[in-house]
Amino acid sequence: MRRLLIPFLFALPLCAQTPVTVTGTITDASNTPATGGYVQFDITPKSGAIHYFISGVAGVDPQTAQCGIDGTGHVKNLAILTNPCTIWGNDVISPGNTLYKVTFAPNGNITNVVNSELITGSIYDLNNPVFAPIVAINPQQNVVRANPFQTNILPSATNTFNIGSPSLQYANGYFSSLSLNGSGIPSFAGNNSFTGINKFKNINNIQFADQQVGGDCGAKILAAAAALAGPGEIWVSQACGLTISTQVTSTLSSGFQTIRFIQDGTWTVSVPAGGAGNTGIYSPNAGAGFNLKGSSRTGTILKFTGGAINGYNVPCTGNIQDITLDGNSAGLIAVASGGSSPAHCKNVLINNVQLQNWTGNALNSGAFDDNWTVSNNWFLNNTGDGAYIGGNATGAMIKGNHAIGNGANGLDVGGCTRCVVVANEANSNGTIGGGCNNIDRMGIWLSSDNSGIGQAIGTIITGNTTNSNYIDGITLQAAPNSNLSNNIVSDNSAQNNGTCGVNGGSGIHLLYNSGAGMTVSSNLIANNTLTANSNFGFQQTTTGSTPASSTNNQVVGSVCAVNSNGCESRDNLAFFANYLVDGVTVPKVSDCHGIGNNGSCPAFTALTATKVIFADVALVAGTSTLGGLPFTNANSFRCGASDGSNANAIKIVYNSGAQVTITGTGTDIAALVCAGN
């Protein structure tokens, strides 16, 4: 019978070897743990002509070894039953391809002789044996003799039998080619490691750009798109080349395609003049768009050079994530889209992208672009806005972004309805200067301005940091013929704004632009930190016509201190139904709130954890001291008092947070109310 020769089934060891610790519980014929006896291990094949040895260990490995059984049935060292049983593993014995025959003799009586046990590793449990097929070895030649296997192996029924199992696996398989469901699987170049459970299905929907023919990586990407001829992914590694000089478009696709950079690197994108707006990578068709994905935000970089080009045109369906688009001070717009109603661009994801050094807006969506998610991105040192979400957008989620050092606004939300702007960092924007003019130099800007058809309704701006911007931290702008209503601006930090100079900027600014037809109502500005701004903590100004409707706008409980010109300024109190501080309504005619254009008001202290007490105090000889008050110190509360007996004046002296002295007339009754913290 012919036998197949398979050399080196067990590789020879390369370093110092250690034996295997053998464990197990041995029982007698009645399944009772043995109290003595032995277990014998015989190397197979056994022959006096074979010199078995352990590489790096002096001497000849004996072909037979015995271990003892202690009083509880456990396998131990034969000579010292408190020590473990150790033997050499089959994988370190040379010549290779050995097995063990194991003889069990509980209480000195042989009960079982088991062939073909394969003992390897650091610990081997006799109660969970591992078996291998019997092999025959020519002495000293490391040759395995097995059954013939040089023929086609066909199952008797299709989709029925398996090779191996999850618990009993073959060590390796070596094939020149492999097919699944009739389709060939492409080869993987280089060192590849697959971990976990990997399922390869429909793998022909992945094309590797480096396996295509082209003069640069862009041309190879286009060739891969043509090979896909439909939905799928184009995988790009450095083997594709690091230059993209051929414009990449999705015009060859008939469905979604993804360009996925599977390796970190810096690709230089430089396309010639002409084409679709000199766009390096773009998708012009709403129904056939590219996704663009890198392997990491700062590791995968597309550096756009060679003149004014668009970096990447987001399709109306698609996304971009985990990548840096670097304008290299020569680009025009990093990400652009657009359309007019009803051709909205919906459901675009911009996630974990770094957009830097672009001329103009780094991220620029068009009008009517709905349900965008812009999250965890970095917009750095662009000459325009860090990110602009176009007019009349609905349902955008703008979360966790970092807009820093941009020439205009950090985050320009445009006319956004039912949008959420949360936990963003929009600091040090407006750096291109141009004067303290309240235009395009803000940390966050929400505007209803969109050619007379704009609106900003029901948007929430919360938990953001908007510090050290050239003009304002946060600006809400109402434009002519537009609606700015039901927006909430809460729990933001807007500090140290107005870096253009004194009177330059405020923490939060509600701005009514010139024109008519504005509706501004039910906006809530609550619990913000507005300190150390060069103008006001909160400012409301009007240029030109007043809104057609402006009611129920409220400012509530913000921390407001150390602003150069005071805490707040409103040039028309009629725009506010009331002014609220911690739920205490202050009449709008109060001198504390300024009346008339450019009116100013003195700084006030916003109260938190407010305590209010009232008492009727009887004076004795025109005076009385009231103690036991619950306030922190003499400056943390104020009292109002009236003479409840006669029309006489009352004076209050604040001795401490716990005590005031009241001075009036005779034995009159002083009606006292104190509030503070």
Instruction: In whole angstroms, give the CA distance from residue 206 to residue 300.
Output: 20
**What confidence tens digit (pLDDT) does each residue in 45-90 have?**
887 778 888 888 877 678 899 999 999 999 999 999 999 999 999 8
Mean pLDDT of 664-668: 90
SS3 153: coil
Q: How far is CA 258 from CA 210, 303, 304, 324, in A?
A: 15, 19, 20, 16
Q: Cα 662 vs. chain centroid, distance in angstroms?
A: 60
The residues, any chain, with a CB within 8 Å of residue 182's CB and separated by 6 or more, are none
Instruction: In whole angstroms, give the CA distance from residue 8 to residue 301.
Output: 46
Q: Tell me the β-bridge partners of 301.
A: 266, 324
Mean pLDDT of 238-262: 78
> 548 with 480: CB under 8 angstroms?
no
Q: Which two tokens stand for residue 582?
A: 């911690």
pLDDT band of residue 494 (cuts 50, 70, 90) is: very high
> Shortest CA distance to 489 belongs to which of 554, 584, 564?
554
> Shortest CA distance to 107 belongs to which of 10, 175, 39?
39
Q: Which two tokens stand for residue 592?
A: 């504390």
Neighbour-count burial of 75, counting CB atoms closer than 10 A to its CB (0-12 exposed, 13-18 middle, 19+ buried): buried
Question: What is the model's pLDDT at position 623?
Answer: 93
Question: What is the model's pLDDT at position 653?
Answer: 92
SS3 210: helix
Q: Cα 532 vs. chain centroid, distance in angstroms?
A: 32
Question: What is the model's pLDDT at position 533?
Answer: 85
Residue 32, pLDDT > 50, answer yes
Neighbour-count burial of 37, counting CB atoms closer than 10 A to its CB (0-12 exposed, 13-18 middle, 19+ buried): buried
Residue 434, pLDDT > 80, answer no
**What confidence tens digit (pLDDT) does each residue in 127-154 have?**
999 887 655 555 544 444 545 555 667 7
Residue with tokens 């006489």: 648
- For residue 146, count other CB atoms closer than 10 A to its CB: 15
Instruction: In whole angstroms, give the CA distance from residue 671 to residue 616.
Output: 5
Instruction: In whole angstroms, give the CA distance from residue 667 to residue 617.
Output: 10
What secondary structure does DSSP assign to 7-41, as a single string?
--SSPPP-S---PEEEE-B-B-TTSPBPSSEEEEE
Residue 501, pLDDT > 60, answer yes
The three-state (H, E, C) secondary structure of 45-112, written as one string: CCCCCCCCEECCCCCCCCCEEEEEECCCCEEECCCCCCCCEEECCHHHEECCCCEEEEEEEECCCCCE
**Which has more pLDDT, 334 or 363?**
363
The residues, any chain, with a CB within 8 Å of residue 173's CB and separated by 6 or more, are none
Question: What is the model's pLDDT at position 578?
Answer: 38
For residue 647, give the DSSP letter.
Answer: S
Instruction: In whole angstroms, give the CA distance from residue 355 to residue 310.
Output: 12
Q: Which two tokens stand for residue 50?
A: 């074979």
What secondary structure does DSSP assign to 530-544, as a single string?
EES-SS-SEEEEE-S
- For residue 192, count other CB atoms closer than 10 A to its CB: 7
Residue 445, pLDDT > 80, answer yes
pLDDT band of residue 425 (cuts 50, 70, 90) is: very high
**What confidence tens digit (pLDDT) does each residue in 412-422 have?**
987 888 888 99
> Shortest CA distance to 270 belongs to which of 293, 247, 288, 292?
247
State the pTM of this model: 0.57
Question: What is the model's pLDDT at position 579?
Answer: 39
Question: What is the model's pLDDT at position 202?
Answer: 42
Q: What is the mean pLDDT of the chain?
A: 75
Neighbour-count burial of 150, counting CB atoms closer than 10 A to its CB (0-12 exposed, 13-18 middle, 19+ buried): exposed
Mean pLDDT of 607-621: 78
Bond into 186 cis (ω within 30) = no
Instruction: In whole angstroms, give the CA distance from residue 135 to residue 122.
Output: 24
**Which has more pLDDT, 184 or 343?**
184
SS3 141: coil
**Which has more pLDDT, 75 or 201?**
75
Query: Cα dihedral sign for 486, 487, 490, 494?
Result: negative
Mean pLDDT of 198-208: 63
Mean pLDDT of 244-271: 77
SS3 593: helix
Question: What is the model's pLDDT at position 402?
Answer: 95
Instruction: In whole angstroms, give the CA distance from residue 444 to residue 463.
Output: 12
Q: What residue spans define the domains of the chain?
A: 4-145, 611-676
Mean pLDDT of 425-437: 76
Instruction: In whole angstroms, give the CA distance from residue 68 to residue 81.
Output: 7
**What confidence tens digit (pLDDT) does each residue in 618-630 have?**
899 999 999 889 8
Query: Cα dihedral sign for 219, 221, 223, 226?
Result: negative
Question: What is the model's pLDDT at position 492?
Answer: 92
Q: How far is CA 247 from CA 70, 239, 334, in A?
A: 78, 19, 15
The residues, any chain, with a CB within 8 Å of residue 238's CB and separated by 6 or more, are 263, 265
Instruction: In whole angstroms, give the CA distance from residue 622 to residue 674.
Output: 20
Residue 360, pLDDT > 90, answer no
Question: What is the model's pLDDT at position 590?
Answer: 33
Q: Which two tokens stand for residue 427?
A: 């600091």
Residue 502, pLDDT > 60, answer no
Q: Which two tokens stand for residue 174?
A: 């070596």
Residue 275, pLDDT > 60, answer no
pLDDT band of residue 168 (cuts 50, 70, 90) is: confident
Query: Cα dihedral sign for 123, 126, 128, 134?
Result: positive
Question: What is the model's pLDDT at position 103?
Answer: 94
**What confidence tens digit (pLDDT) does each residue in 505-538 have?**
888 888 777 666 777 777 788 788 888 888 888 8
Bond into 342 cis (ω within 30) = yes
